[in-house]
Structure 1
Amino acid sequence: MTTVLLVLVVVLAIAMAYMNGFHDASNAVTTTITTRTLPESTALTMAAILNVLGALLGMMLIVVSTPWALRLLGMTPLTQTTSGQPDVLALALISIMLTTIGWDLLTWWLGMPSSTWHAFFGSTLGVSLAIGAPAAWERLGVLLVVSLVGPVLSAAIAYLLMQLVMGLGRHERLRRGHLRFAQTVSAGAVATGHGLNDSRLPLAVIVIAFAATGGSPSFATALMVAVALAIGLGTLVGGHRIIRVLGRHLTDLTVAQGLAAETSAAATMSLSLFGVGSPISTSHALASSVVGAGVAQGLRNVRWQVAGRILLIWLATPLACAVVGAALVGTMLAMTSR
């Protein structure tokens, strides 16, 4: 892999980290902003700081190595096929990241929460098939199962928590001040978990790129600080369009609903990180939790048309990114072969 291509891969990985923070800021602060528990600037600043701390914590909890990166991203078949052709691998990584960043931008513009992980895995599938590499179907199968179970689990936990909160409220064991404090804590947990979970994606790409050049992955981990800061900076700017959809268009969030949704999302993310070992989208977890908390107060409290559009985006993400990724890498390879 040439130095120019390596630098381009690293820059795009950091850009993807920034876009991830920008797109997913709503995962941590939607409920606190919508319910006026915290001012918007305070909520975004808190989420940005905790995203950075979560990302740095994630670096300390994992053993960064090339096998870890390949296993996390399901890229073993792709790297084996491009063995001895590091420039082709670089073009594949560039195509995957450009597709992921583009999809995040599109769904942000539409105001729809979507998964950066699903966009990345979908584009990886398309790119792999386009260059003749076998797809990591087993890894994709695990992701699909987790993608189906995760949102259902998040919605169920939020529903049960909302029932508990309403029960305590009827017996005057919870006051509004208690709920606001607990909601702030739960939002902080989601922000920290998001940084811990999603920082692994750009870091793994950097590790794979350095490994293809014969460099040491330990050197690539030094860029984790840049990745963490990029996620935090993106979060600070905030995906306001998605915040409006989740907080006002999907349902009219109350403080109690916000607490239940954030707590459920944090619990589901913890399960993915320390339990099943496969990433659960924070966007999916929070949106599903908002729906579950809304259903607890009655089916009419959820605007199902909006929920349907969000679900459609989730279903379209892997397929659309696979097609775009394949077309992009095909175009790049055709241009470089001339």
Structure 2
Amino acid sequence: MNWALLAAAVAFALVNGANTGATMLAATITLDSIGHVLGLLLLGLGVALGPVLVGTGVAARFAGEMVPWEGEGSETGMLVAVLVSLLVVLGLTRLGIPTGLTLAFVGAIAGYGAASGTGIAWHSVLIVLGMMALAPVLGGLLAAFVIAVFARRLRSRHVSRSLGRVHALSFPALAVGYGASDGQKMLAISAVALGLTGQGASGSVAAPTLLLVALGVLFTLGSAAGYRSMSRRLGQGVLPVRPVYAVTSEVATAAALLGSAGVGTPVGVAQTLTGSLIGAGASQGLGRVRWPQVSTIVVAWVVTLPLTFGIAAAVAGGLRAGGAL
């Protein structure tokens, strides 16, 4: 057991909840079909159930397929990747440049693997990055289709009831999809810290029930802590807050997450959710989308990957030069 990495895993799960979980939960303020407390419980349950329902293939991708770590090198590499990704995400967020934790984490893993001498499976990294780039596009197209279906009922007096019913199904699906896909990075970090992974690129990741419950609880606590701040920022995003956009983006993002989990590849919730919102708004008129905010988010994505790659590579290079690797 690596106590330093385990402590970093706890911090990562809490920050992940405050960042990603709070973002997903903030959409529920526009609807009353799922309350705040129930939403939090569903997020934690989704994190715990996702790996049980679809397996731990995504966690294995994080833990050993992109960089075939072995022995203590996996613990050191994962610790560097966690700390670098947290540093970059928190730093950019403080500067008002929101970015995705998953994108930062992938960049840090790749940077460490490239400079540490461990080696890196570029085909696996490119598959992950390709899926992460494709997910917002597919989410946007799916959201445009879904909102076209809703548009027929937008003038109906029963539209709020219809949206509420869809939300009551789509939000749990979004929570489970997150646990099955993007959320498994938390499982990968914890599994490496606890020695629950196989060796090399073909290694598997064990997911004990107690560990999944613990991750669900930590993610829920982080989501609760970040909810109020994220709710205040919700109206300043790429679209004005409207129930139809919230529900549409949930449906599209849940579909993308569950689809990616099926092929064992993570996609970023932040990127997919943003793409879905843009697709939903643009389908009703380009003027509905706040394009300056969109450009800021895209710049953050473009900056995040090389920044985390470079910092993690520099750390790995320093450790290697000092004989620590």
Task: Pick closer, same or farther for the CA change 1:29–1:207 going to 2, 3 Å.
Answer: closer
User: 1:17·1:199 contact (CA, 8 Å) conserved in 2?
Assistant: no
Matched, 1:281 2:268: yes
Q: Give the structure 2 partner of residue 51 of structure 1.
A: 43
Q: Give the structure 2 partner of residue 265 of structure 1.
A: 253
User: 1:55·1:197 contact (CA, 8 Å) conserved in 2?
Assistant: no
Q: Cα RMSD (Å) of the superposition? A: 3.1
Once residues 169 and 223 of structure 1 are traced to their aligned partners in structure 2, the CA distance between those partners, rounded to angstroms, is 44
C-alpha displacement at 1:334, in angstroms?
5.5
TM-score scaled to structure 2, two decimals?
0.85
**Letter of the aligned partner of 1:31 in structure 2?**
A
Deviations for 1:199-251, whole angstroms, at most 9, x for unmatched residues? 4212223333416899x975976433322211111111125555444543322
Q: Give the structure 2 partner of residue 90 of structure 1.
A: 75
Task: Pick closer, same or farther for the CA change 1:110–1:263 going to 2, 3 Å.
Answer: farther
Q: Give the structure 1 partner of residue 89 of structure 2.
A: 104
User: 1:69·1:207 contact (CA, 8 Å) conserved in 2?
Assistant: no
**Letter of the aligned partner of 1:268 in structure 2?**
A
Once residues 197 and 179 of structure 2 are traced to their aligned partners in structure 1, the CA distance between those partners, rounded to angstroms, is 26
Matched, 1:188 2:172: yes
Task: Pick closer, same or farther for the CA change 1:208–1:62 going to 2, 3 Å.
Answer: farther
User: 2:22·2:227 contact (CA, 8 Å) conserved in 1?
Assistant: yes
Task: Pick closer, same or farther for the CA change 1:334–1:267 going to 2, 3 Å.
Answer: same
Once residues 110 and 29 of structure 1 are traced to their aligned partners in structure 2, the CA distance between those partners, rounded to angstroms, is 23
SS of the residue 1:75 aligns to: helix
Deviations for 1:26-64, whole angstroms, at most 9, x for unmatched residues? 44223222x3x2499x42x33321122112212423556
C-alpha displacement at 1:308, in angstroms?
0.8
Identity over the aligned pairs, expressed in percent? 25
Range moving further from structure 2, 237-246 or 136-145: 237-246
Once residues 309 and 155 of structure 1 are traced to their aligned partners in structure 2, the CA distance between those partners, rounded to angstroms, is 18
SS of the residue 2:236 aligns to: helix
The match for 1:17 among 13, 19, 40 is 13
SS of the residue 2:241 aligns to: coil
Q: Give the structure 2 partner of residue 120 of structure 1.
A: 105
C-alpha displacement at 1:176, in angstroms?
2.1
Q: Give the structure 2 partner of residue 61 of structure 1.
A: 53
C-alpha displacement at 1:74, in angstroms?
6.3
User: 1:74·1:136 contact (CA, 8 Å) conserved in 2?
Assistant: no
Deviations for 1:149-189, whole angstroms, at most 9, x for unmatched residues? 2101101111111121111234x374223323433442333
Q: Structure 2: any 5+ residue segments left out of the alignment?
A: none
Task: Pick closer, same or farther for the CA change 1:106–1:62 going to 2, 3 Å.
Answer: same
Deviations for 1:75-95, whole angstroms, at most 9, x for unmatched residues? 357445xx5xx4444322211
Task: Pick closer, same or farther for the CA change 1:188–1:104 going to 2, 3 Å.
Answer: farther
Structure with higher helix content: 1
**Letter of the aligned partner of 1:114 in structure 2?**
T
C-alpha displacement at 1:320, in angstroms?
0.9
Task: Pick closer, same or farther for the CA change 1:244–1:302 going to 2, 3 Å.
Answer: farther
SS of the residue 1:259 aligns to: helix
TM-score scaled to structure 1, two decimals?
0.82
Task: Pick closer, same or farther for the CA change 1:316–1:155 going to 2, 3 Å.
Answer: same
Task: Pick closer, same or farther for the CA change 1:99–1:39 going to 2, 3 Å.
Answer: farther
Residues 1-338 of structure 1: matches in 2 within 5 Å?
6-33=2-29, 35=30, 37-38=31-32, 42-43=35-36, 45-61=37-53, 71-73=60-62, 75-76=64-65, 78-79=67-68, 83=70, 86-110=71-95, 112-170=97-155, 172=156, 174-209=158-193, 210=195, 222-238=210-226, 240-274=228-262, 276-332=263-319, 337=324
User: 2:66·2:122 contact (CA, 8 Å) conserved in 1?
Assistant: no
Task: Pick closer, same or farther for the CA change 1:220–1:164 going to 2, 3 Å.
Answer: closer
Task: Pick closer, same or farther for the CA change 1:50–1:186 going to 2, 3 Å.
Answer: same
Q: Structure 1: any 5+ residue segments left out of the alignment?
A: none
User: 1:93·1:205 contact (CA, 8 Å) conserved in 2?
Assistant: yes
Once residues 78 and 268 of structure 1 are traced to their aligned partners in structure 2, the CA distance between those partners, rounded to angstroms, is 25
